[in-house]
Amino acid sequence: MWIVFLGPPGAGKGTQANRLIEFLGIPHLSTGEVLRQVVRDQTAESQLVANFLDQGLLVPDELVMKVVLEILQSPKYERGVLFDGFPRTIVQAEQLDAFLRGMGKRIDVVLNLEVEESELIRRMLSRSKKEGRHDDNHATIRSRLRVFHDQTAPLIDYYDWNGLVEHIDGMRSSDEVFADIQNRIIKRQTPSQAMH
Ligand code: ADP
pLDDT at 173: 96
User: What's the mean pLDDT in 115-128?
Assistant: 93
Cα 167 to its chain centre, rounded Å, is 15
pLDDT at 134: 80
Our separate counts of H helices and E strands in the chain read: 10, 5
Q: In terms of Cα–Cα distance, which of 58, 81, 100 is closest to 5?
A: 81
pLDDT at 177: 98
Distance 110 CA to ligand 1 centre (A): 17
pTM > 0.85: yes
What positions carry a catalytic annotation? 13, 88, 127, 133, 144
Which residues surround ligand 1 with Cβ inside 6 Å?
A: 9-10, 31-32, 35, 52-53, 56-59, 64, 85-86, 88, 92, 135, 144
Residues whose CB falls within 8 Å of the CB of residue 41, separated by 6 or more in sequence, listed in order: none
pLDDT in tens, 149-164: 999 999 999 999 999 9
pLDDT in tens, 8-48: 999 999 999 999 999 999 999 999 999 999 999 999 999 99
